């Protein structure tokens, strides 16, 4: 009798845990047509563990603590990047435990964090789908599920001894995402914002393809140590700008359509306007050009110029794609330009290798040429040339002419007043 009771109890307990087959139907928070979030049934195609929110795209881990302290004795004497990354993880955390209520075979989150968790996973899945279908990156290239440290304590000791708040990020040294707690941001949590999470996912893809999955990429470590670091400054700006552009690209796959101002549901108007890709008059000005060429990476980043230059780049791409109606073609071309082993048509990764000993060769002209060379459609190529020449203030003669990547019809634009030669 007792054995029967125990067995029955075990069966009962085992039955308590929802174990739906993939794909999983669940409710998540999705942006609606009127610009506000609503709860909506979504299908999670890759989620295999609904309790611990783990699937082939991501696994969510809670309670972690990551700390970067230059004076940390654990960082001394470390010789490998992997050991460095692991030394930053002071508490590896534990799997999250989603709380569900099952109704009609659909999982309903039973608390706020489960709403946030399921929407986070859904957003990562949509981002993966975008890079797989639009970017033509095979699923196998993404490797193991990405670790997402949910509500982690992330401390950058040299800037602030307290954990960072109100942010979401891809952190290359630990090869993981972080969604940190909100504090002052009281609009939509960042994890719920599909564009923002796709922006972070785009950083991971950039690291995967351009940096070769390096935790401490050469362009940052080698170029960033110089007094003036134009190459490091530019690649940081590229990383941010392309992340914005692909974040926008993912919003185009949603039911509500493209949102070039996707930051607006989470951030204030000032930041949202600063990052609005549809704003047509963004230009590299004299100050930006001077800082790009001469400022050390720390100074450049300290002023947030990588975001400002990145938005100019993303805006130029946006204008080229939208004006020709070739948005997805351009997005695919840009992703294909991340890494290309084809002889005579290097990608960004190969350009970095070429310029590794002289970062001056990694500049707006050479980077523009890489992008343009990966576009085959002539009208699109022309539009892209015009936008880059115009907004990035690249001299026409650098890109147009015999042996140059742009067609002769490309002559730039007249949105941005030409800068005098330095």
Partner 1 sequence: MRTSTLHARLLILFLGALALSTPAMAQDEDDAPLAYPDDDELEEDTPRKLPRRSSDPTADYDRMQDESEEELELLAGSDDPNKGFAGEAIVGAMLLESSRGRFADPTLSVGLRFTWEYGRILNNEPLRETLWADVRWMMAGESSGTELINGSSRNHYFSVAPAYEFVFGKEKAFGVFGQLGGGFAFQSTSLTIGTEVTAVKGIKPLLQYGMGLRGRPRISDTMALSFRVELMRFRRGYLDDTFVGGSIGTAF
Which residue number, 181 or 395, has a Cβ lying nearer to partner 1?
Answer: 181
**Among 1, 3, 5, 13, which residue sits at the site for partner 1 (rule: CB under 8 A)?**
13
* Other residues' Cβ atoms within 10 Å of the Cβ of residue 369: 23
Return the range that interacts with partner 1 (CB under 8 A); candidates 96-104, 306-314, 384-392, 410-418: 96-104
Residue 194 CB, nearest approach to partner 1 (Å): 14
CA 138 to each of CA 205, 222, 247, 330: distance values in angstroms, whole numbers, following the listed order? 12, 30, 19, 18
The reply to whether 108 sits near partner 1 by the rule CB under 8 A is yes
d(C-alpha 396, C-alpha 390), whole Å:
9
Size of the site for partner 1 (CB under 8 A): 45
The reply to whether 271 sits near partner 1 by the rule CB under 8 A is no
The DSSP element (H or E) to which 66 belongs, if any, is: strand 65-68
Which residue number, 55 or 346, has a Cβ lying nearer to partner 1?
Answer: 55
Tokens for 91, please give them: 């508490």
The reply to whether 113 sits near partner 1 by the rule CB under 8 A is yes
**What residues contact residue 20 under an 8 Å CB cut-off, 6+ apart?**
50, 105, 107
Closest CA to 285 of 399, 387, 416: 416
Residue 317 CB, nearest approach to partner 1 (Å): 31
The reply to whether 8 sits near partner 1 by the rule CB under 8 A is no
Q: Which residues, 191 to 210, sit near partner 1 by CB under 8 A?
A: 192
The reply to whether 84 sits near partner 1 by the rule CB under 8 A is no
**Phi/psi at 66 (nearest 5 deg)?**
-120, 130
Which residue number, 166 or 377, has a Cβ lying nearer to partner 1?
Answer: 166
Q: Which residues, 26 to 65, sit near partner 1 by CB under 8 A?
A: 29, 36-39, 51, 60-64
Residue 169 CB, nearest approach to partner 1 (Å): 17
The DSSP element (H or E) to which 199 belongs, if any, is: helix 194-209
**Among 102, 342, 397, 409, which residue sits at the site for partner 1 (rule: CB under 8 A)?**
102
d(C-alpha 246, C-alpha 249), whole Å:
5
d(C-alpha 371, C-alpha 333), whole Å:
7
Compute the half-sphere exposure of residue 72: CA atoms within 13 Å on the CB side of its CA: 20
**Among 1, 5, 12, 255, which residue sits at the site for partner 1 (rule: CB under 8 A)?**
12
The reply to whether 112 sits near partner 1 by the rule CB under 8 A is yes
Residue 104 CB, nearest approach to partner 1 (Å): 12
For residue 243, the SS3 value is helix
Which residue number, 191 or 383, has a Cβ lying nearer to partner 1?
Answer: 191
Chain centroid, CA 4 distance in Å: 54
d(C-alpha 188, C-alpha 267), whole Å:
8
* Other residues' Cβ atoms within 10 Å of the Cβ of residue 413: 17
Q: Determine whether 279 is exposed, middle or buried from the number of CB atoms within 10 Å of its CB (0-12, 13-18, 19+).
A: middle
Maximal C-alpha separation, the chain: 92
**Among 65, 90, 187, 293, which residue sits at the site for partner 1 (rule: CB under 8 A)?**
187
Site string for partner 1, 115-154 (x = CB under 8 A): x-x--------------------------------xx---
- Interacting residue ranges for partner 1, rule: CB under 8 A: 9, 12-13, 16-18, 29, 36-39, 51, 60-64, 93-99, 101-103, 108-115, 117, 150-151, 182, 185-189, 192
């Amino acid at each position: 009798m007792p054995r029967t009771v125990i067995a029955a109890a075990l069966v009962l307990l085992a039955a308590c845990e929802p174990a739906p087959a993939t794909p999983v139907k669940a409710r998540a928070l999705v942006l609606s047509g009127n610009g506000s979030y609503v709860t909506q049934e979504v299908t999670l195609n890759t989620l295999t563990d609904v309790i611990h929110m783990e699937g082939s795209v991501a696994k969510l881990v809670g309670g972690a603590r990551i700390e970067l302290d230059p004076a940390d004795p654990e960082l001394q004497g470390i010789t490998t990047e992997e050991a460095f990354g692991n030394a930053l993880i002071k508490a590896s955390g534990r799997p999250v435990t989603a709380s569900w209520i099952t109704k009609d075979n659909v999982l309903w989150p039973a608390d706020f964090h489960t709403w946030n968790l399921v929407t986070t996973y859904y957003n990562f899945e949509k981002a993966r789908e975008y890079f797989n279908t639009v970017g033509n990156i095979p699923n196998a290239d993404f490797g193991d599920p990405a670790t997402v440290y949910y509500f982690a304590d992330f401390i950058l000791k040299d800037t602030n001894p307290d954990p960072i708040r109100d942010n979401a990020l891809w952190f290359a040294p630990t090869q993981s995402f972080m969604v940190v707690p909100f504090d002052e941001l009281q609009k939509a949590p960042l994890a719920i914002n599909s564009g923002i999470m796709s922006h972070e996912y785009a950083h991971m893809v950039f690291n995967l393809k351009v940096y070769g999955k390096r935790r401490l990429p050469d362009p940052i470590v080698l170029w960033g140590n110089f007094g003036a670091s134009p190459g490091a400054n530019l690649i940081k700006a590229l990383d941010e700008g392309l992340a914005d552009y692909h974040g926008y690209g993912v919003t185009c796959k949603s039911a509500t359509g493209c949102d070039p101002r996707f930051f607006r549901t989470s951030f204030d108007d000032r930041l949202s306007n600063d990052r609005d890709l549809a704003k047509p008059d963004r230009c590299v000005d004299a100050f930006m050009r001077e800082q790009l060429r001469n400022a050390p990476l720390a100074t450049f980043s300290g002023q947030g110029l990588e975001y400002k230059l990145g938005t100019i780049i993303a805006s130029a791409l946006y204008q080229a794609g939208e004006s020709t109606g070739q948005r997805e073609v351009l997005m695919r071309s840009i992703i294909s330009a991340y890494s290309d082993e084809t002889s005579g048509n290097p990608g960004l990764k190969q350009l970095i290798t070429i310029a590794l000993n002289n970062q001056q060769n990694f500049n707006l002209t050479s980077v523009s040429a890489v992008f343009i060379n990966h576009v085959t459609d002539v009208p699109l190529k022309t539009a892209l040339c015009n936008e880059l020449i115009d907004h990035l203030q690249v001299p026409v003669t650098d890109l147009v002419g015999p042996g140059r990547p742009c067609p002769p019809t490309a002559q730039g634009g007249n949105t941005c007043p030409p800068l005098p030669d330095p």
